Amino acid sequence: MKKLILAHYYTLPEVQAAADIVGDSLALSIAAAETDADEIIFAGVRFMGETAKILCPGKRVVLPDPEAGCSLADGCRADDLAALKAAHPDAVVVSYVNTSAEVKALTDICCTSSNALAVIRSIPSDREIIFAPDRNLGAWLKAQTGRENMILWDGACHVHQGFDPAVLTELRAAHPGVPVLAHPECPAALLEQADYVGSTAGIIERVGAIGADEYIIVTEPGILYELESRYPGRKFHTVPGVDPDRRRCNECEYMKQITIEKLQAALDGQTPEVTLAENIRSAAEKSIRNMLTLRS
């Protein structure tokens, strides 16, 4: 049986090293949609495994840690989104891929941080949009597109919300002229200080395009494994946590739940597969397929 291991850039270095494909949320969704493997082992959090299962109902999809959640996905309940939809029946519902299958089933089109701008620009300007669940990404999209008719869900990723703008200001002062690259899940006070805003894959590509010796990176530090492997000799500064007692500050503890031992157990067939009720899966599929038509 052919098995494919997918891993997100925020997972542990040894997990990324063991994967067949390492990528951002969009690239991994595309890889899941296009693989001819019989089984997908998804070293990522629950919404990622669910997305793969939505796209590949006939394949076995396994999460090394089925309990690995996501603060964004967990902060957006399907019944609350249904109530918001009922209050705005003509709105187009755009959901970040960091959502449960039940939320995707209520969504017209999903997006990731890679293609969110293209998704918003694909919607006629006179149509109201409900954007869930990341208020920071939503506010950035509003600012980039000048679009006022977007209703933003009040959710955030605790990792990116936790970066302190004052700490970034100090870091920039300590490293004058060093380019700042930030993920759009960060609040506006950080994004305003960035030279580039983009997904994890976008940040990695942009480092290659800039060609400087040093960078300030404002996202989860798991990305350093790919940056340092791809660009040896360059220096990457991450924004430190503000609370010295929080040893895992600015790390996604959910992504770090995926250990190499759990990955091995999944490979050995010891981990249950992802299952979804077929009515939810099929209702969610259209929103993911719509997303895959807009890749950048």
Applying CB under 6 A, which part among 112-120, 137-145, 147-155, 206-214 lies near ligand 13P? 112-120
Which lies closer to ligand SF4 via its Cβ, residue 108 or residue 185? Answer: 185
d(CA 123, CA 94): 10
Residue 254 interacting partner from ligand 13P, ligand SF4, none (CB closer than 5 to 8 Å by kind): ligand SF4
Query: Which is closer to ligand SF4, CB of 5 or CB of 48?
Result: 48
Dmax over CA atoms of the chain, in Å, equals: 54
Q: Tell whether residue 113 is a contact of ligand 13P (CB under 6 A).
A: yes
Min dist. Cβ of residue 87 to ligand 13P (A): 28
Tell which one of 71, 200, 238, 257 touches ligand 13P (CB under 6 A): 200
Taking the C-alpha atoms of residue 77 and residue 81, their distance in angstroms, rounded to an integer, is 6
Nearest distance from C-beta of residue 155 to ligand SF4, angstroms: 10
Buried b (16+ CB within 10 A) or exposed e, 13-32: eebbebbeebbbbbbbbbbb
Binding residue for ligand 13P (CB under 6 A) from 11, 16, 25, 71?
25
Compute the distance between CA of residue 278 and CA of residue 146 in angstroms, rounded to an integer.
38
- Please list every residue from 136 through 165 that binds ligand 13P, using CB under 6 A: 157
**Separation CA 245–CA 264 (nearest Å):** 32
Residues in a beta bridge with 22? 7
24 binds, among ligand SF4, ligand 13P, none (CB under 5 to 8 A by kind): ligand 13P
User: What is the spatial order of strands in the sheet that 196-197 belongs to?
Assistant: 196-197, 180-182, 214-218, 235-238
| Count of residues near ligand 13P by CB under 6 A | 10
